[in-house]
Structure 1
Amino acid sequence: METKLTVREQVLDHAITLMMLRGYNGFSYRDLSELVGVKTSSIHYYFPSKDDLVLEAVNQYSGEVMRALQTVDPALPANEKLTRYTRMFGKTLGDGDQICLCGMLAADIGTLPETVREAVQAFFRANESWLAKVLAQGVEEGTLVARGKPESAARTLFAALQGSVLASRLFHTKARLEDVEATWKAVP
């Protein structure tokens, strides 16, 4: 039996999708009211301001990504962990028309309130931290290649992954994302 989403959950889900497609400035409460089928005043009941809504959307999205990372088996070799991570990025692309919520919001950083900016930065740091551990493991195993310290290599890799989803969206192909993953794998 399917569980029906509450109005609040529907608003959040649609807000996340719209931001992944259009960014922070590319949607309004009117858009959400039409999608959910409620008055904008109902949305304001749950989220008094757009900043409140966006912060909650970032927290929900970030939590989902972090929970997904926790499901990656720690016993896997690092190159397989990186493959799973890259697949997660690929799922974010959907039909090729949306990108990572926090990547999209990072492009809008100049118009974001401080609380949202801090939440997006925390998302980036958490992903970079996870990747640094995977890269360090991979270098030790000989399954991944990383130059320099794992932390700086992880920042470079995460930036490349974020950029690859932009290019994948632009060219309507996930090959750009796959190219980034292949760059970090050691030649057997």
Structure 2
Amino acid sequence: MEPTTTVRDQILDHAITLMMLRGYNGFSYRDLSGLVGVKTSSIHYYFPSKDDLVLEAVNQYSSGILAALGSIDASLRADQKLSKYTKLFGRTLGEGDQICLCGMLAADIEALPDNVRAAVQAFFKANESWLAKMLAQGAKEGTLNVNGKPEHVARTLYAAYQGSVLASRLFRTKARLEEVETSWKLSK
């Protein structure tokens, strides 16, 4: 028997999806009330302000993504880990119309309160840190093309992933995302 989804969980899930589609300013509590089937006052009960809702959405999204990164088998070669990371990033695209929640919010950074901005920055840093470790491993193994310090290359690679989901959305193809992965792998 599957656990029932609470109203709070439904609000968060829909808020995450709407932000991945439209950004921070692209949805309202009225939109959420229609999707969840509750009054806006009920949403305010769980999340007194939009900033509260967005912060919780970022935290939930970040926890899910970081848990998925943590579940990647540490014994894999770095190029295999990179493939799993690419697939994880690809799931973000949904039907090709969404981008990473934190990538979308980064575009809206000036509209975000400081605590949400800090949560988005922490998400970026956590991904870059994971990528740096994976790149260092790949350089050592000779499975990935790493020219420079892994920390610097990780920021470039992460920026490439974020940019690729924008282009994938624009052109409605995941090929842009897949090209990022293949450009870092060494041919065997």
| Cα deviation, residue 170, structure 1 | 0.2
TM-score (norm 2): 0.99
- After the TM superposition, list the runs of 4 or more consecutive aligned residues in structure 1 that deviate by more than 3 angstroms: none
SS at match of 1:51: helix
Q: Give the number of aligned pairs.
A: 188
CA RMSD of aligned residues (A): 0.5
Cα drift, residue 4 of structure 1:
1.7
Deviations 1:133-177 (A, max 9, x none): 000000000000111100000000000000000000000000000
Structure 2 unaligned regions, length at least 5: none
- What TM-score does the superposition give when structure 1 sets the normalisation length? 0.99
Q: Distance in 2 between matches of 1:6 and 1:94?
A: 23
Task: Give the whole-Å Cα distance in 2 for the aligned partners of 1:132 and 1:2.
Answer: 38
Matched, 1:82 2:88: no
What is the match of residue 92 of structure 1? 92
Unaligned runs of 5+ in 1: none
Q: Secondary structure at the match of 1:98?
A: coil
User: C-alpha offsets along residues 118-139 of structure 1, whole Å, 9 cap, x if unaligned?
Assistant: 0000000000000000000000
Amino acid paired to 2:38: V
In structure 2, C-alpha distance between the alignment counterparts of 1:40 and 1:152, rounded to whole Å: 45
Deviations 1:8-39 (A, max 9, x none): 00000000000000000000000000000000
Distance 1:14 1:100 in 2: 14
In the alignment, which residue of structure 2 is the partner of 1:153? 153
Residues 76-155 of structure 1 mapped to structure 2, 5 A cutoff: 76-155=76-155
What is the alpha-carbon distance in structure 1 between the residues aligned to residue 94 and residue 112 of structure 2? 25
Per-residue deviation, residues 27-60 of structure 1 (Å, max 9, x unmatched): 0000000000000000000000000000000000
1:187 is displaced (CA, Å) by: 1.6
- Structure 2 residue identity aligned to 1:150: P
Quote the sequence identity (%). 74
Aligned to 1:163: 163
